[in-house]
Amino acid sequence: MKSSFRPSLVLNGLAAWMELHWLAITNRLATNIRLAKYCKAWCNSPMLSASDSQRETLTVSEAAELDAADIRDSLAGDGDAFRRLVQRYQQPIADYLWRFTRDRRQWEELVQDVFVEGYLSLPSYSAKAPLLHWLKRIATRVGYRFWKNQQRRRIEATWTEEADLLTSTDEAVGSAQAAAELVQQMLAELAPRDRLVMTLTYLEQRDVAEVAKLTGWSKSMVKVQLHRARKRLAKICKKRGIEP
């Protein structure tokens, strides 16, 4: 019996947006291969200087009006409309996701994943918060999921680089780059939830309320998680002979 299923308007728009036929989309989904591979048609690089200059010339209200129009057109199946949203917000999302990985290939994949999830979730966007904030919430989930997957794949953490770093000259250890690398290494040893709350609080310098909004946790949960993460990081420092 032939299926009566027909693709939704949103998915039709997705196919048009990525200049693909609907059949190619369904075949790709049927073989369970990541949709994000198609994103390079519209998300070639996390660095779009043109979008920077565009944002700088827009007021908050003008940006909101443009977003509303492009969201409406995207939901109506206009592929170019979402392309404009990507160009408008790709740079701040890329900057934000740099906290989650320093591997450029992984970083670009995370940026692509955010906009794929954003596109497919557009019908649920209520405009109660600015679009960028909504996209950053998606980015937080994408980054957190990436860390969890990394942790599952990690069989045994090796600390050869850190040992070399700690036994090197004072000048090398004191350099900004060496210090940043050491911080990233120690954060990587934390559980994903601990790493997320420490990254948002100390590296992103966000307060409890902002962390709660980005993660979807309550303020009380953020405080408890932060307290536990600090204690665990202090143990890691002590184990490495570093004063926390």
The last residue of one of the domains, among 138, 155, 172, is: 155
Q: 188 and 165, same structural domain?
A: yes
Confirm whether 56 is domain-assigned.
yes
Confirm whether 3 is domain-assigned.
no
- CB of 178 closer than 8 Å to CB of 172: yes
Q: 188 and 139, same structural domain?
A: no
Q: 70 and 174, same structural domain?
A: no
End-to-end CA, the chain: 66
Q: 15 and 82, same structural domain?
A: yes
Q: What is the pLDDT of residue 139?
A: 96
Q: Which two tokens stand for residue 209?
A: 């309320």
Confirm whether 2 is domain-assigned.
no
The one-character DSSP state at 175 is S
CATH classification at residue 69: 1.10.1740.10
Q: 203 and 124, same structural domain?
A: no
The last residue of one of the domains, among 109, 129, 155, is: 155
Q: 132 and 118, same structural domain?
A: yes
CA 189 – CA 147 distance, rounded (Å): 11
CATH classification at residue 201: 1.10.10.10
| Cα dihedral across residues 122, 127, 133, 134: positive or negative | negative
Q: What is the pLDDT of residue 91?
A: 92
Q: What is the pLDDT of residue 14?
A: 41
CA 222 – CA 210 distance, rounded (Å): 10
Q: 185 and 144, same structural domain?
A: no
Q: Which two tokens stand for residue 222?
A: 């953020």
Q: What is the pLDDT of residue 238?
A: 83
Print the domain residue range for 183: 158-244
Confirm whether 74 is domain-assigned.
yes
Q: 175 and 97, same structural domain?
A: no
Confirm whether 82 is domain-assigned.
yes
CA 42 – CA 144 distance, rounded (Å): 24
- CB of 47 closer than 8 Å to CB of 93: no
Query: H helices of the chain, where?
Result: 9-17, 22-30, 49-56, 60-75, 79-97, 104-121, 131-153, 160-166, 170-174, 176-188, 192-198, 208-215, 219-239
**What pTM does this model have?**
0.60
Q: 139 and 77, same structural domain?
A: yes
Q: What is the pLDDT of residue 32?
A: 32
| Cα dihedral across residues 54, 87, 127, 203: positive or negative | negative
H or E stretch at 1? none
Confirm whether 1 is domain-assigned.
no
Q: What is the pLDDT of residue 43?
A: 54
Q: 166 and 89, same structural domain?
A: no
Q: pLDDT of the chain along its 244 residues, tens only?
A: 433 333 343 344 443 434 333 333 334 333 333 344 434 544 554 444 334 445 556 677 888 899 999 999 999 988 889 999 999 999 999 999 999 998 898 999 999 999 999 999 999 998 888 999 999 999 999 999 999 888 776 643 433 344 454 444 444 445 667 777 778 888 889 999 999 999 999 888 899 999 999 999 999 999 999 999 999 988 888 887 776 5
Q: 202 and 83, same structural domain?
A: no
| Number of structural domains found in the chain | 2
CA 65 – CA 125 distance, rounded (Å): 15
The last residue of one of the domains, among 155, 179, 199, is: 155
Q: 171 and 207, same structural domain?
A: yes
